[in-house]
Amino acid sequence: MIPSHRSDSPPVGLSLLLPAFDAAPYLATRIEPELFHILLLSREWPLYSQLNVAFRQAEANRLPTYFLLTPDSCLWLRTDGSVLPARAEPREVAVAVGKLVPCEILPSDSGVAERAQRLREYACRQGQRTIWCDPARGGWSPSPEEAAALAGESEEGVPKGLERCPECGEWRGACLDPRGSAEPLVLPVCCLCENDNECAGCGSLLFERRLQCNWYDEEEGALHYVPGFHALDHVCGMDRLDE
220 and 159 together in one domain: yes
Backbone angles phi, psi at 7, to 5 degrees: -115, 0
> For residue 94, how many C-alpha atoms fall within 13 Å in the half-sphere facing its CB?
14
Q: Is residue 2 in some structural domain?
A: no
Region 38-61: what's the mean pLDDT?
94
Q: Is residue 36 in some structural domain?
A: yes
Distance, in Å, from the CA atom of 175 to the CA atom of 1, rounded to the nearest integer, reads 9
Q: Is residue 182 in some structural domain?
A: yes
Residue 13 above 70 pLDDT? Answer: no
CA-to-CA separations, 172 to 33, 60, 190, 194, 227, in angstroms, rounded: 24, 22, 5, 9, 17
Complete edge-to-edge strand list for the sheet that includes strand 15-19:
15-19, 83-91, 73-77, 65-70, 26-32, 35-40, 94-97
198 and 104 together in one domain: no
48 and 104 together in one domain: yes
pLDDT of residue 95: 92
44 and 95 together in one domain: yes
Q: Is residue 132 in some structural domain?
A: no
Q: Is residue 130 in some structural domain?
A: no
178 and 212 together in one domain: yes
Return the SS3 of 13: coil
Q: Is residue 9 in some structural domain?
A: no
For 187-225, the pLDDT digits (tens) are: 999 999 999 999 999 999 999 999 999 999 999 999 999
Q: Is residue 228 in some structural domain?
A: yes
149 and 181 together in one domain: yes
Domain span at 170: 144-241
Q: Is residue 101 in some structural domain?
A: yes
pTM, whole model, 2 decimals?
Answer: 0.88
112 and 52 together in one domain: yes
12 versus 145: the higher-pLDDT residue is 145
Final residue belonging to a domain, choices 94, 125, 156: 125
> For the chain, how many structural domains are there in total?
2
The CB density around residue 205, as the number of other CB atoms within 10 Å, is 16
- Residue 179: band (very low, low, confident or very high) from pLDDT cuts 50, 70, 90: confident
For 149-162, the pLDDT digits (tens) are: 999 999 999 999 99
Distance, in Å, from the CA atom of 104 to the CA atom of 202, rounded to the nearest integer, reads 10
